[in-house]
């Protein structure tokens, strides 16, 4: 018997067709992986179940939750269903949580909306629910605020809010996209355990096949608002028929071809770097000990090389990148580019550029692309010529006319190409890529990796590739550094580190990374 049955669901918004005859079933205790790229209709299918759709939306077909027909239910019935019968976990926990309320208050609020219980009883239930989500009160009191928790801990709070009333169905929309691999594995295990213990159905939405291959019972592949393929998770990867499904599998294991040669010349040298942050004073007398974010970090990057830097959130990766660019002072050590100290000689920084994780957030939406791409020239005291802007855009696969558009007119992959064009325009020798492909769909990620490999070959570029995604590092890096608690704990060429890791932490990272095994006899 199905807990959730979606049959021939179609959705239009202001007359524009979004979903076309979508059908899927989820039973009690089942995990259904809904997979597809941005714009495929995954999230709108989930929002249709809860009827949380934008103005102008019209649904047809059938959505049956147990014995309730959602599309025929009135608003009072729907309000009772949301939170009580259906819980939802969103992608970004920090935006899903209220920053001025404690975690206890936010979980208790869900309970008090649907149940007539006192504030104190609701807090007791909240504490039990948070414990169930591996946040025991001894270590994580109810009085904590979201900013006092890590990304994985915040996601556990969001899950606690969603399951506080033991719903029949849990919808998790990209719940692990922004998390590092070990935290991602912990969240997936938690969701799997909750499904097994409570017997609820789970709709797990993601763009990454590797995330759900191991834990889903069945998989639904969506593209352009349609279900293009579905089947049992264990069999789908060996029995796939649709070209789109094959392209997703191929993109998930894509290996870009890099033909450039790594030279013996050291381009960037980082030697014995220390970075301390002052901590809050807890005593009027005793001075607080500083927090050491970088602890005696040393390594070299050679010309033409792609060096991968991996580690979990908080290990010091981004702090190190800011120090390399001369944006953060250090308390010890030396950083040189082509033998010039990046702090003592500002001209050294002119040969470095950075590409950030969120391409939309790194641009000013009020300016056109031509001005955005030319921004690095402002530091050089001159403006970019029109030819320089066009050359930079064309080099990353965009059109000359794109310089006259605004950033919101582009897709996520195109925005990241614009970010790379901005980094290329002053012809740097080193580009720091800080989680540059983490938020992209697998096929777009493959395109960007191919672009980076092509630019490296044509221009002899050197990359420092900072990421928590081991799949990306394995695909593009010549060597890899593993960072933990501000230290480099392991380093070596990529194949050696991945196949014969020495440090237990490296072994844990590699074991936690979701993987898709190649399928013999299937041409993808």
| DSSP state string for 452-514 | HHHHHHHH--EEEEEES-HHHHHHH-SEEEEEETTEEEEEEEHHHHHHS--SHHHHHHHHHS-
According to CATH, where is 3.40.50.300 located in the chain? 4-252, 266-278+289-512
How far apart are alpha carbons 50 and 65 in whole angstroms? Answer: 10
What confidence tier does 512 reach under pLDDT thresholds 50, 70, 90? confident
For the domain 266-278+289-512, what is the CATH code? Answer: 3.40.50.300
User: Which residue, among 7, 2, 123, 1, has the nearest Cα to 59 in the 3D structure?
Assistant: 7
Task: Quick: pLDDT tens for 320-332.
Answer: 999 999 888 999 9
CA angle 24, 183, 27 (to 5 degrees): 20
Q: Which residue has the higher pLDDT, 284 or 387?
A: 387
Report the 3 state secondary structure along 53-92: CCCCEEEEEEEEECCEEHHHCCHHHHHHHECCCEEEECCC
Instruction: Please report, for the chain, how many H helices and E strands are present, in that order.
Output: 19, 20
Please give the pLDDT value at position 522. Answer: 45
How far apart are alpha carbons 60 and 10 in whole angstroms? Answer: 5
How far apart are alpha carbons 106 and 160 in whole angstroms? Answer: 10
State how far Cα 181 lies from the chain centre. 10
What average pLDDT does the chain have? 89
* pTM passes above 0.85: no
User: Which residue, among 164, 242, 176, has the nearest Cα to 207 in the 3D structure?
Assistant: 176
Domain 4-252 coded CATH 3.40.50.2300: no
Q: Give the sheet arrangement for strand 479-484, strand by strand.
A: 352-355, 430-434, 462-467, 306-310, 479-484, 487-493
Share of the chain above pLDDT 90, in %: 56
Please give the pLDDT value at position 517. Answer: 60
The distance between the two most distant Cα atoms of the chain, rounded to a whole number of Å, is: 72
Q: Give burial (CB, 10 Å; 0-12/13-18/19+) of 224.
A: middle
Which two tokens mark 167? 């719903």
User: Which residue, among 39, 36, 33, has the nearest Cα to 17 in the 3D structure?
Assistant: 39
What confidence tier does 523 reach under pLDDT thresholds 50, 70, 90? very low
Task: Quick: pLDDT tens for 148-187.
Answer: 887 788 889 999 999 999 999 999 988 887 678 888 888 8
Please give the pLDDT value at position 433. Answer: 92
Pairing status of strand 266-277 against strand 332-337: antiparallel
Which two tokens mark 153? 């801990």
CB proximity list for 327: less than 8 A, separation 6 or greater: none
């Amino acid at each position: 018997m199905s807990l959730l049955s979606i049959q021939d669901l179609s959705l239009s918004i202001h007359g524009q067709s979004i979903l076309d005859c979508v059908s899927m079933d989820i039973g009690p205790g089942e995990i259904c992986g809904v997979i597809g790229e941005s714009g495929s209709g995954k999230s709108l299918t989930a929002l249709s179940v809860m009827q949380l759709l934008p103005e102008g939306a019209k649904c047809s077909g059938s959505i049956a939750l147990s014995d309730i027909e959602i599309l025929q239910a009135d608003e009072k019935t729907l309000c009772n269903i949301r939170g009580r019968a259906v819980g939802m976990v969103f992608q970004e926990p920090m935006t899903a949580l209220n920053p001025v309320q404690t975690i206890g208050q936010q979980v208790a609020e869900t309970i008090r909306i649907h149940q007539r219980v006192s504030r104190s009883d609701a807090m007791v239930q909240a504490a039990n629910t948070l414990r169930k989500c591996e946040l025991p009160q001894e270590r994580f009191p109810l009085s904590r605020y979201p900013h006092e928790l890590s990304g994985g801990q915040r996601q556990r709070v969001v899950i606690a809010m969603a399951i506080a009333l033991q719903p029949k169905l849990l919808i998790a929309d990209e719940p692990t996209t922004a998390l590092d691999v070990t935290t991602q594995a912990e969240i997936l295990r938690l969701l799997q355990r909750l499904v097994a213990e409570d017997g609820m159905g789970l709709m797990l939405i993601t763009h990454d096949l590797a995330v759900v291959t191991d834990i889903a019972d069945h998989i639904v592949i969506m593209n352009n608002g349609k279900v293009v393929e579905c089947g049992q998770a264990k069999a789908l990867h060996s029995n796939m028929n649709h070209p789109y499904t094959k392209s997703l599998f191929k993109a998930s294991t894509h290996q870009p071809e890099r033909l450039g040669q790594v030279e013996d010349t050291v381009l960037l040298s980082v030697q014995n770097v220390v970075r301390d942050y002052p901590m809050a004073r807890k005593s009027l007398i005793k001075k607080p000990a500083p927090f050491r974010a970088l602890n005696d970090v040393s390594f070299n990057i050679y010309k033409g090389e792609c060096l991968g830097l991996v580690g979990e959130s908080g290990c010091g990766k981004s702090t190190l990148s800011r120090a390399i660019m001369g944006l953060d002072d250090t308390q010890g050590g030396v950083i040189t580019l082509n033998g010039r100290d990046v702090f003592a000689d500002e001209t050294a920084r002119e040969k470095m550029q950075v590409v950030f994780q969120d391409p939309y957030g790194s641009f000013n939406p009020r300016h056109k692309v031509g001005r955005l791409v030319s921004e690095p020239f402002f530091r050089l005291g001159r403006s970019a010529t029109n030819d320089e802007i066009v050359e930079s855009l064309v080099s990353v696969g965009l059109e000359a006319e794109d310089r006259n558009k605004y950033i919101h007119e582009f897709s996520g992959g195109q925005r990241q190409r614009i970010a790379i064009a901005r980094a290329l325009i002053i012809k740097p020798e080193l580009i720091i890529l800080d989680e540059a492909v983490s938020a992209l769909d697998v096929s777009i990620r493959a395109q960007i990796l191919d672009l980076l490999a092509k630019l490296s070959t044509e221009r002899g570029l050197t990359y420092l590739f900072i990421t928590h995604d081991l799949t990306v590092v394995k695909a593009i890096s010549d060597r890899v550094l593993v960072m933990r608690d501000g230290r480099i704990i392991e380093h070596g060429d990529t194949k050696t580190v991945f196949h014969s890791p020495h440090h237990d932490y490296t072994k844990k990272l590699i074991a936690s990374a979701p993987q898709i095994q190649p399928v013999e006899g299937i041409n993808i």
